[in-house]
């Protein structure tokens, strides 16, 4: 409010759209056979506010997504939703970073310097995910050139061999190491195995693959890691994307086990330059990495015609302690560019008009450059209290099956209500 933002309430009964998570739908009695949807976010409404001349908007708003639940996810949650007109990415990041610094100072009493920034590509290469916890090290080290060609088939046949160095745990027993290997082999992680290298306190470097690598080879690998006596290295291999995800899970697990993820320490970070699109093998088409209204970076416009998968988004996420607490982007505000985006996402002209014609028509009258960001309020509150389970910060949360166990919902409704709504349920089929 001090920065000139106006609070505007947007509708809760809106139109279902095919992008993003599944919608919760609400039948309309007055329009038989037609349905409202509960908003996954106020995205299109806040863009319309910008087109309509509202320069700065915010709202503390309930959002609804019919998706599988996790510790940090609920079917209904709260956002601090913001949008600004006549801005570039830097303007939005500065304003919202200022708000986050104020919150952190109020809660911790500490002053925070400007938040570091990292590209999506660097985050994936160094940490294996796009929301890295930078309170501790264990950055990834890629080892292809050092480990291939030594007749160790597992490494020779892998697209990527990558590892982390864990300081001060070279005294781990074989039983402790085997337990970690079993942990990464669980179906949730999906690794086929893991190699370890110990830089022992007496200076000797040994490993689980001594048969293939001499001590001199192992010392070169340890040197690449920057390891010192007392450190233990873990190496994983396979498909590049999969192995980075698996090693990231191990890194976070070790961070928890070793007490490196302290709830009273805060390490905010901006992640920028996300891919605009991701290709879905199953459907054979592109999906928006964020949502269909995210603008590509100006210098990547030409890639939409030649190589859409390489285009970067004018998007940014705010990460705190390994969790995304907010995400946003500069929006497309040009009708032709938005139409091109819908084409890339596989919408026919008719589908795009039916779903988003109201926004495209608004663009005809001249839309300002605009963008915004939404904070996950429940998640932010949990993390500021040193926790990651948002259920503990929501009154009457849903369980893992999406049920409210206090009032026993969802529940069947009376036949009279179904008749009024002109709905028929065939539960047998």
What is the β-pairing status of strands 231-238 and 141-142? unpaired
pLDDT in tens, 70-108: 767 899 999 999 999 999 999 999 999 999 999 999 999
Containing H/E element for 235?
strand 231-238
Residue 296 lies in a domain: yes
- 184 & 274 share domain: no
CA distance 406 to 201: 56
Give, as one character, the DSSP assignment of residue 300.
G
Confidence grade of residue 364 (pLDDT, cut at 50, 70, 90): confident
Confidence grade of residue 371 (pLDDT, cut at 50, 70, 90): very high
pLDDT in tens, 123-165: 999 999 999 999 999 999 999 999 999 999 999 999 999 999 9
- 95 & 221 share domain: no
- 304 & 359 share domain: yes
pLDDT value at residue 18: 64
Residue 424 lies in a domain: no
What is the pTM assigned to this prediction?
A: 0.91
Q: Return the closest-CA partner of residue 120 out of 335, 272, 268, 11.
A: 272
CATH of the domain at 173: 3.30.1360.30
Q: Which of 205, 232, 257 is the last residue of a domain?
A: 257
CA distance 138 to 165: 6
- 207 & 233 share domain: yes
Containing H/E element for 250?
helix 240-257
How many domains does the chain fold into?
2
What residue numbers bound the domain in which 210 lies? 136-257
pLDDT value at residue 58: 97
- 225 & 198 share domain: yes
CB atoms within 10 A of CB 343: 15
CA distance 336 to 140: 41
Q: Are 172 and 232 in contact (CB under 8 A)?
A: yes
- 298 & 406 share domain: yes
- 253 & 366 share domain: no
Q: Return the closest-CA partner of residue 326 out of 48, 23, 143, 96.
A: 96
- 236 & 289 share domain: no
Q: Which of 257, 287, 303 is the last residue of a domain?
A: 257
If you average pLDDT over each of 69-78, 81-90, 278-287, 338-347, which comes out highest?
Answer: 81-90
Q: Which of 257, 274, 298 is the last residue of a domain?
A: 257
Strand partners, 233: 165, 197
Residue 124 lies in a domain: no
Confidence grade of residue 287 (pLDDT, cut at 50, 70, 90): confident
pLDDT value at residue 284: 81
Residue 413: partners with Cβ closer than 8 Å, 6 or more residues away: none
pLDDT value at residue 285: 84
- 270 & 410 share domain: yes
pLDDT value at residue 428: 59
- 339 & 250 share domain: no
Statement: residue 14 has pLDDT above 90: yes
């Amino acid at each position: 409010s001090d920065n000139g933002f106006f609070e505007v309430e947007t509708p809760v009964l809106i139109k279902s759209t095919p992008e993003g998570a599944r919608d919760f739908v609400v039948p309309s009695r007055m329009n038989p056979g037609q349905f409202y949807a509960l908003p996954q976010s106020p995205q299109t409404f806040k863009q319309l506010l910008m087109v309509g001349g509202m320069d700065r908007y915010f709202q503390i708003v309930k959002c609804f997504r019919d998706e599988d639940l996790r510790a940090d996810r609920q079917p209904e949650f709260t956002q601090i939703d913001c949008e600004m007109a006549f801005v570039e990415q830097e303007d939005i990041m500065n304003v919202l970073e200022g708000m986050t610094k104020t919150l952190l100072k109020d809660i911790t009493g500490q002053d925070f310097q400007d938040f570091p920034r990292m590209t999506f590509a660097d985050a994936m290469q160094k940490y294996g995910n796009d929301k890295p916890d930078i309170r501790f090290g264990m950055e990834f080290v890629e080892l292809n050139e050092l480990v291939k060609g030594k007749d160790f088939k597992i490494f020779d046949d892998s697209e990527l061999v990558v590892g982390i160095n864990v300081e001060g745990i070279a005294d781990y027993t074989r039983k402790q190491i085997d337990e970690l290997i079993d942990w990464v082999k669980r179906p949730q992680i999906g690794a086929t195995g893991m190699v370890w290298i110990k830089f022992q306190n007496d200076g000797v470097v040994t490993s689980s693959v001594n048969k293939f690598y001499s001590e001199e080879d192992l010392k070169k690998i340890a040197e690449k890691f920057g390891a010192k006596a007392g450190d233990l290295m873990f190496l994983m291999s396979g498909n590049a994307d999969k192995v980075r995800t698996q090693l990231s899970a191990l890194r976070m697990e070790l961070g928890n086990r070793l007490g490196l993820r302290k709830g009273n320490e805060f390490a905010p970070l901006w992640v920028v330059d996300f891919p605009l699109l991701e290709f879905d093998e199953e459907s054979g088409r592109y999906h928006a990495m964020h949502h269909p209204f995210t603008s590509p970076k100006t210098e990547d416009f030409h890639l939409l015609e030649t190589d859409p998968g390489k285009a970067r988004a004018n998007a940014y996420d705010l990460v705190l302690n390994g969790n995304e607490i907010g995400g946003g982007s500069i929006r497309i505000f040009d009708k032709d560019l938005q139409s091109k985006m819908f084409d890339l996402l596989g919408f026919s002209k008719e589908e795009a008009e039916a779903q988003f014609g109201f926004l495209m028509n608004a663009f005809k009258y001249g839309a300002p450059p605009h963008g915004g960001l939404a904070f996950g309020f429940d998640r932010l509150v949990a993390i500021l209290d040193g926790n990651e389970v948002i259920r503990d910060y929501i009154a009457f949360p849903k369980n893992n099956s999406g049920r409210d166990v206090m009032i026993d919902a969802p529940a069947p409704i009376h036949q009279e209500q179904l008749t009024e709504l002109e709905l028929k349920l065939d539960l047998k089929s």
